[in-house]
Amino acid sequence: MFGLSFGSKKSIVGLDIGSNSIKAVELQRSRGEVVVSHLGIEPLAADIVVDSMIVDSGSVASAISKLFADHAFKAKQVATSVSGHSVIVKKISMQTMSEPELGEAVRNEAAQYIPFDMSDVNIDYQVLSNSLDGPTIDVLLVAVKKDKILNYTNALQLSGRQPAIVDIDEFALQNCFEYNYDPAPNTTTALLNIGASVMNINIVRGTIPLFTRDVSVGGNQYTDSLQKELDLSYEDAEALKLGKKVGTVSEDAKLPILQQVTEIIVLEIQKTFDFFRATASGEHIERIYVAGGSSQVPGLLDALRQEFSIPVDPLNPFLKIVPPIGEGADLVERNSAQLAVAVGLALRSFEKL
């Protein structure tokens, strides 16, 4: 899968830089199991990361340094991931050819699919076809603008960390899903990562990505609506969004506001699924797994179940990974939904690049 590599690696910390918080996970092998050795979450103030771009590198670097110090991370190398308008993911069909020929051919072919100057992007690809015997093969083309990658790696280097891998949010989520759920090869699943400002959607058949999309909706819309409609502070609106009791605000006052935003999110998912079905004939989504901090908003998963009439479950990033004990166990209990991308990134420690 895509992963812009920056050289050799030892242990890698998975670092998910979101618009509300930074999540970090480090894994290790112990007696045949994958175990969490360190993890932590550091909140970010508003407007530091906006629309998947780091606006204030110094603040992000400081937050990363604090996160590593507070939770005793020792590794210097990190894997992070990006999403948004600067990321292009496209499945293309190519003539079957040797690996050296394919690399050059993909880059030549890429120009017609990428709406940026080719000198401004980093390109990677992965062959999706199981067999190379036919006349054509399916190839997943990924392109990311270089300034997007620099936007993240500069913040990492300011914090004293070494970028080992830059991945795509959807593929990090898929990596977490594959490891924990071992999906059947012919099962088509939608993976949703609903963050504060962006929702990542990845539709996969077994371990093959079929369709990806980033949508600029998320938990911040719940918070903004609650603040505006109920005249609340940002902190109170955040707490209310996640089901906590705030002052004298009643359920009757809160629920219609949450429902309005939930309908917007569900509509975007519906539009994505409709487009996918229109372009992938014969594909039928059989199950939805949901991650991201905003997946915990009361009523959202039930709304998805009602709309799509298929199983909808929270994605558990620690289903086959041994969680930490002590303070870390409490963090997993309260925030596991937020940690799926960071876990997927940390799993890259065990791959050969």
State the number of CA atoms in the 13 A half-sphere of 186 facing the CB.
1
pLDDT of residue 161: 95
pLDDT average, residue stretch 119-137: 83
Q: How far apart are CA 120 and CA 219, in angstroms?
A: 32
Which range, of 127-141, 207-221, 295-309, averages the lowest pLDDT? 127-141
pLDDT average, residue stretch 128-146: 83
When pLDDT is cut at 50, 70 and 90, the band that residue 319 belongs to is: very high
pLDDT of residue 132: 66
Long-range contacts of 182-189 (CB under 8 A, 24+ apart): 183/207, 187/286, 187/287, 188/283, 188/284, 188/285, 188/286, 189/285, 189/286, 189/287, 189/288, 189/289
pLDDT of residue 149: 95
Looking at per-residue pLDDT, the higher value among 4 and 283 belongs to: 283
The torsion angles phi and psi of 48, rounded to 5 degrees, stand at -90, -40
Give the CATH class of 4-220+260-350: alpha beta
Q: What is the tens place of the pLDDT at every residue in 270-306? A: 999 999 999 887 889 999 999 999 999 999 999 999 9
Residue type, 148: K
pLDDT of residue 109: 87
Contact of 190 with 287, CB cutoff 8 Å = yes
Contact of 126 with 140, CB cutoff 8 Å = yes
Q: How far apart are CA 175 and CA 225, in angstroms?
A: 33
When pLDDT is cut at 50, 70 and 90, the band that residue 131 belongs to is: low
Residue 89 has pLDDT above 50, yes or no: yes
For residue 225, give the 3-state DSSP assignment.
Answer: helix
pLDDT of residue 334: 86
Return all residues near 99 (Cβ < 8 A) that are at least 6 apart.
none
Buried-state track 25-37, b at ≥16 Cβ within 10 A, e below 16 = bbbbeeeeebebb
117: left (phi over 0), alpha (psi -120 to 50) or beta: beta
Q: How far is CA 311 from CA 183, 278, 292, 295, 301, in A?
A: 15, 22, 18, 15, 10
pLDDT of residue 91: 87
Q: How far apart are CA 115 and CA 124, in angstroms?
A: 16
Residue 198 has pLDDT above 80, yes or no: yes
Which range, of 65-69, 92-96, 142-146, averages the lowest pLDDT? 92-96
Residue 2 has pLDDT above 60, yes or no: no
Question: Which two tokens mark 298?
Answer: 């009361």
pLDDT of residue 242: 84
Going across the sheet that includes 321-322, the strands are: 4-5, 162-168, 77-82, 13-17, 21-30, 33-43, 321-322
State the number of CA atoms in the 13 A half-sphere of 317 facing the CB.
36
7: left (phi over 0), alpha (psi -120 to 50) or beta: left
pLDDT of residue 353: 40
Residue 176 has pLDDT above 80, yes or no: yes
pTM of the model: 0.92
pLDDT average, residue stretch 55-73: 96
Q: How far apart are CA 38 and CA 35, in angstroms?
A: 9
Return all residues near 78 (Cβ < 8 A) that are at least 6 apart.
12, 13, 14, 15, 24, 156, 161, 162, 163, 164
Question: Which two tokens mark 45?
Answer: 């103030």
Q: How far apart are CA 65 and CA 110, in angstroms?
A: 38
Looking at per-residue pLDDT, the higher value among 134 and 341 belongs to: 341
If you average pLDDT over every residue of the chain, what do you get? Answer: 91
What is the sign of the dihedral through the CA atoms of 222, 332, 207 and 87? positive
DSSP state of 350: G
Q: How far apart are CA 265 and CA 123, in angstroms?
A: 31
pLDDT of residue 72: 92
